Amino acid sequence: MNLILLGPPGAGKGTQAKRLEERFGVVQIATGDMLRAEVRAGSEIGNQAKAIMERGELVPDALITEMIAGRVARPDAARGFILDGFPRTVVQAEALDAMLKAHGLRLDHVIELKVKDDVLVERISGRYTCAGCGEGYHDRFKQPKVEGVCDVCGGREFTRRADDRAETVAARLDAFHRQTAPLLPYYAAQGKLRSVDGMAAMSEVTEALAAILSGQG
Ligand code: AMP
């Protein structure tokens, strides 16, 4: 089963992708995570992408499609994958269609997580993750049970994304509305688009997604 989770930054794509990964035995492919790894590694792609990401803009389509080419055909994706944060433009969606075709693969679902902009700003600007295991937390919505200690791994170091600052969030939302929202009619025309209320409780969103994936939604 291959799917795309589509939605603005802060809609919960990453959180839900991780939950579906475990339940459906598919792999999450998140271009934002891949790019952050490239930046940390100081690679050529990372060096090209760093400043653009910090401004909250989209990196060039060619760079992304080059980075992701072949990823969907790797052995760990054979049981299925969840694309999180890709495609983000119509050019990328067309490149993805060609990539899938070349590997004899198809998209089963494209699911939009719908969340209002003001809620997104609040969600993004308070979030942070455990530096050890990557568990996600939020200043208002999800604090560790013991202050300063990760619930999952006991780690005491936490990180915030450079692009989660309030100034950058507006640019990221703007990029979503201008460049990514046109993917909604693109996939609707292919008869693949479904929508889920991303403002519902996290576990309700998971169940709504799971129902679609198991053909009961
Ligand atoms: P994300 O973690 O998905 O919010 O992505 C963080 C940042 O990485 C974005 O604001 C973009 O600068 C860049 N990025 C991630 N995925 C893409 C993509 N598919 N196309 C262009 N830029 C991307």
Q: 180-206 pLDDT, tens per residue?
A: 999 999 999 999 999 999 999 999 999
Main-chain phi, psi angles of 20, to 5 degrees: -70, -30
Query: Could you report the per-residue pLDDT of 131-184, keeping only the tens digit for each?
Result: 999 999 999 989 999 999 999 999 999 999 989 988 899 999 999 999 999 999
| 36, two tokens | 């952050």
pLDDT confidence band for 15 (50 / 70 / 90): very high
* Cα 126 to ligand 1 centroid, rounded to whole Å: 19
Helices (H), the chain: 13-24, 31-41, 44-55, 61-68, 90-102, 117-125, 166-175, 183-189, 202-213
pLDDT of residue 72: 87
pLDDT of residue 35: 96
Report the C-alpha gap between 29 and 85 in whole angstroms: 8
pLDDT of residue 73: 83
pLDDT of residue 215: 87
State the average pLDDT over residues 114-124. Answer: 93
* Cα 203 to ligand 1 centroid, rounded to whole Å: 25
Query: Could you report the per-residue pLDDT of 78-111, keeping only the tens digit for each?
Result: 899 999 999 999 999 999 999 999 999 999 999 9
Q: Is pLDDT of 22 > 90?
A: no
pLDDT confidence band for 70 (50 / 70 / 90): confident
* Cα 69 to ligand 1 centroid, rounded to whole Å: 16
| 142, two tokens | 């999800």
Which helix (H) or strand (E) segment is 5 a member of? strand 2-6
Mutation pick for ligand 1 pocket among 88, 91, 177 (CB with most ligand atoms within 8 Å): 88
pLDDT confidence band for 216 (50 / 70 / 90): confident
Contact predicate 136/202, CB 8 Å: no
Where in the sequence numbering do the catalytic residues fall? 13, 88, 127, 161, 172
Which pTM value belongs to this model? 0.93
Residues with CB under 6 Å of ligand 1 are: 9, 31-32, 35, 52-53, 56-59, 64, 85-88, 92, 163, 172
